[in-house]
Amino acid sequence: MKCRKCNGELVVKRMCRRVRLQCKSCNHEYQIHEVAADLDEKTSAILEQYTTIIYD
């Protein structure tokens, strides 16, 4: 999963009941719905572990 701004790696970050993807390089945070169309298998598998994801 790559950042759209800098092509850095996005990591799943859990904050309370919300989940975000954050870029390791520029620290930009994406909401799940922003990148939903681009989710790769690895990232999807991680997200599936969270049963309380709020897609806000």
**CB nearer to Zn ion: pick between 21 and 23:** 23
Distance CA 52, CA 2 (A): 24
Q: Of residues 11, 26, 36, 45, which one binds Zn ion by CB under 5 A? A: 26
Q: How many whole angstroms from its chain centre is CA 35?
A: 7
**CB nearer to Zn ion: pick between 25 and 31:** 25
Token pair listed for 23: 């870029």
Q: Identify the helix (H) or strand (E) that includes residue 17.
A: none
Rule CB under 5 A: say whether 23 interacts with Zn ion.
Answer: yes
Footprint on this chain of Zn ion (rule: CB under 5 A): 3, 5-6, 8, 23, 25-26, 28
